Amino acid sequence: MFKPIILLLISNIFMTFAWYGHLKDLRSAPIWVAIITSWAIALLEYCFQVPANRIGSQYFSLPQLKVLQEIITMLVFAGFSVWYMKIPVTRNYFLAAMLLSGAAYLIFTDRR
């Protein structure tokens, strides 16, 4: 059950760098360099994301898997913002995390 969570965490780290890392590191590079670099990183992301979803579907429903992925994305993005991009976590980050926690509660306590 923890394997898909770990794989999603690794996947989201790569995804976040692919989507936003070029804004810091490749700002002065031509756009095509940023695109190719991002695609290369995204390929690594998919190498973790696809198995995470395959394995995760054995333990979680599809809606649960999606909400879990969104929570991991928010946590990774907050860490990336603070550590890599040097953008502080604001009250709105915290409130968004609370809303995602509510979504997790609702989706994981779904009574059919």
Q: What is the mean pLDDT of residues 94-107?
A: 82
More confident residue, 66 or 110: 66
Q: What is the mean pLDDT of residues 71-100?
A: 88
pLDDT digits (tens, 9 = 90+) for 14-43: 999 999 999 998 999 999 999 999 999 999
Query: Which residues contact residue 73 at a Cβ distance below 8 angstroms, ignoring those fewer than 6 apart?
Result: 12, 15, 16
Q: Please tell me whether the overall predicted TM-score, pTM, comes out greater than 0.85 for this model.
A: no
